[in-house]
Amino acid sequence: MTLHLTHQGATLRLRAGRLLLEKDGTTLGDFPVRQVRQVALWGHVRLSTPALTFLLRQGVPVLYLSQEGLLYGVAGPSADPDPTHLRAQLSAPSLPLARAFVTGKLRSAHALLSRYGLAQAVAVKEALAQVERARTLEALRGTEGLGSRAYFAGLTELLGPHGFSGRTRRPPKDPVNAALSYGYTLLLGRVLVAVRLAGLHPEVGFLHAEGRRNPALALDLMEEFRVPVVDQVVLAAFRRDQLTPAHAEPRQGGVYLNEEGKKRLIALVEARLAEEATHPLGFRKTYGELIELQAHRLKAALLGRRPYTPFYLWR
């Protein structure tokens, strides 16, 4: 399980083989360490040295995030990438893999819009056709942008009654955008860990621009899972009143989820990650397992062992 710790001022400690979340002498949570696969510390939550040491020895990554959903970094036991893998990343042509990531994203977008019979599905399908014809990264990114704009225009029809009028970020301007941004941070943390565990360098990407402390490769792979893991969850949550405008608040020039909203979205995304889905190659695994599998399949493609097939919604 993933521990998402959001109680500000609390400390996670190790005691008698269990992880205890404590604040002011009160135990807020008690977790068996052997069942913990990942720990996410949101905001001002501390981790004792014995607890951190134990988690690292057990191979459990620890994510450090801001309350607003900015991923600061990951502490983990994974070593630096194997030189063979790093050389493969650096020498691989960018366009084929970048095209695969965009294809996965837009196919899922088209599938979602088609399920609701939205006219914008046509524009996304046209963008998909252009993806295959793109001969430069610049052209591919432009096509991805066109498809994404059409996709979010379709989501506006579904989520307009909940205050959504299009994608805004840094900062998000409404509760739906607040939920999307927070959900993408949850997803990025999961993908970043998967990339590192696969032995790849998270900053050497193909679609996203590279930069120091910019996890370009994790952002690349994340594109395949935005729609099925985050967008569908947020869409369903607002349409079923599991999330409402009351779960967000204005702050620092934007709109962000409040504590109850964060807890609800975390639970929904974690539940989604535990659901099974069918890969385009025909096998079924949970979304959490698919993220890890795609990272390993990406490594295999870079090493010339097999072609890379992106994940996308197809049934």
User: Please, are residues 172 and 178 in contact by the beta-carbon 8 Å criterion?
Assistant: yes
Q: How confident is the model at residue 233 (pLDDT cuts 50, 70, 90)?
A: very high
214 against 123, higher pLDDT: 123
Q: For the chain, give the number of residues.
A: 315
* Whether residue 315 has pLDDT greater than 90: no
Confidence of residue 3 (pLDDT cuts 50, 70, 90): confident
Read off the pLDDT of each residue in 107-113 and give the average, rounded to a whole number: 97
Percent of the chain with pLDDT over 70: 97
Close Cβ partners of 160 (under 8 Å, ≥ 6 residues apart): none
Domains and CATH numbers, the chain: 2-75 (3.100.10.20), 83-302 (1.20.120.920)
Per-residue DSSP letters for the chain?
A: -EEEE--TT-EEEEETTEEEEEETTEEEEEEEGGG--EEEEESS-EE-HHHHHHHHHTT--EEEE-TTS-EEEEE-S--SPPHHHHHHHHHS-HHHHHHHHHHHHHHHHHHHHHHTT-THHHHHHHHHHHHHH--SHHHHHHHHHHHHHHHHHHHHHHHGGGT--S---SS--SHHHHHHHHHHHHHHHHHHHHHHHTT--TT--SSSPPBTTB-HHHHHHHGGGIIIIIIHHHHHHHHTTSS-GGGEEEETTEEEE-HHHHHHHHHHHHHHHTSEEE-TTS-EEEHHHHHHHHHHHHHHHHTTSS---------
Percent of the chain with pLDDT over 90: 64
Does the pLDDT at position 212 exceed 80? no
| Rounded mean pLDDT, 159-171 | 91
pLDDT value at residue 103: 97
Average pLDDT, the chain: 91
For the stretch 15-32, pLDDT in tens is 877 888 888 888 888 888
Identify the band that residue 213 occupies on the pLDDT scale cut at 50, 70 and 90: low
Lowest pLDDT segment from 108-112, 212-216, 220-224, 250-254:
212-216
Banded pLDDT at 139 (limits 50, 70, 90): very high
pLDDT digits (tens, 9 = 90+) for 241-257: 999 999 999 988 899 99
- Give this prediction's pTM: 0.86
What is the Cα Rg of the chain in Å?
20
User: Residue 70 pLDDT > 80, yes or no?
Assistant: no
pLDDT of residue 30: 86
